[in-house]
Amino acid sequence: MKIGNKNQISILLRKRILDFAVKTEKAHVHIGSCLSAIDILIETLVFQMGSRDRFILSKGHASLALYVVFNYLKKISNKELASYFEEGTHFGIHTPGSMPDLIPLATGSLGHGLSFAAGVALGYKMQDQKTKRHVYVMISDGECNEGAVWEAAQFAVAIRIDNLTVIIDKNRVQALGRNKEVLGDGASVAKWRAFGFNVGTCNGHSFADLSAGFSALNKLKNNRPSVLICKTIRGRGIKSIENKVVSNYTAVTKEVYEEAILNLKS
């Protein structure tokens, strides 16, 4: 697909995220993370994954971005998605456990997704070497504060799984500060390379760059898991909160919504 068309999908799904966010007017939507992750999710789920591959959103607070991509893929219906944030919905703030074929792990507590993904990838590999079912997991750079991420990173390398791709949404901001000022940059190339991963980097808002990043990693055949470190901007598209700590807790009010829509149109 042409890059221009991918950009059209991005505009469409960014608008959907904003439409749901303004409906709730709740900060818990985690609009900042949804807008940093959405382009990576589109590239991964729509253009990279095979039908039997699995995707785990370890940074479960960006769930709305995942829901709208699944809706675009017709795996979540409009009616189902309309229940987002409503009483009795499947689609709350964090990814649910009620649809394991689509969402293999209910997340929300950070630091679980990579271990789970490594287990699934190993399980697929042990049961069938030929099918090459691939497992993708998205974590955030803030999530790299978690010790379990590094337990999992060591494990994934030790068990020599080449059917696992870690995708880091590197928006450089966490809940209460900038990553570098909290525990340092957990999404640095040096750290992941030191742990034994194949490492790629890209601009997480450029479809050309994302696609090239995946392609370069896919070419490597060395029994190592891969990580694609995607530089992103938290809250991208809402200039007043872009790249700011506040973007984690910004409720999309009508005013914020109008600012974002104007920006999308431009």
Binding residues for another protein, rule: CB under 8 A, are: 97, 100, 104-106, 109, 111-112, 115-124, 126-127, 147-148, 151-152, 154-155, 158-159
CA distance linking residue 191 with residue 5, whole number of Å: 35
CB under 8 Å to 173, separation ≥6 — which residues? 32, 142, 179, 234, 243, 244, 245, 247, 248
Least separation in angstroms between residue 168's CB and another protein is 18
Helix axes 3-24, 254-265, angle to 10 degrees: 170
Distance CA 177, CA 52 (A): 38
Q: How far is the CB of 60 from another protein (least distance, A)?
A: 10
The residue (of 29 and 110) whose beta carbon lies closer to another protein is: 110
Q: How far is the CB of 43 from another protein (least distance, A)?
A: 24
Integer Cα distance of 203 and 194 in angstroms: 22
Residue number, 160 or 239, with CB nearest to another protein: 160
| Of 124 and 214, CB closest to another protein | 124
Give 53 or 203: the residue with its C-beta nearer to another protein.
53
Shortest Cβ distance from residue 94 to another protein (Å)?
10
- Shortest Å, Cβ 146 to another protein: 9
Buried b (16+ CB within 10 A) or exposed e, 3-12: eeebeebbee
How many Cα atoms within 13 Å fall on the side-chain side of residue 19? 13
| Closer to another protein by Cβ: residue 96 or 200 | 96
And the tokens for 237? 């598209």
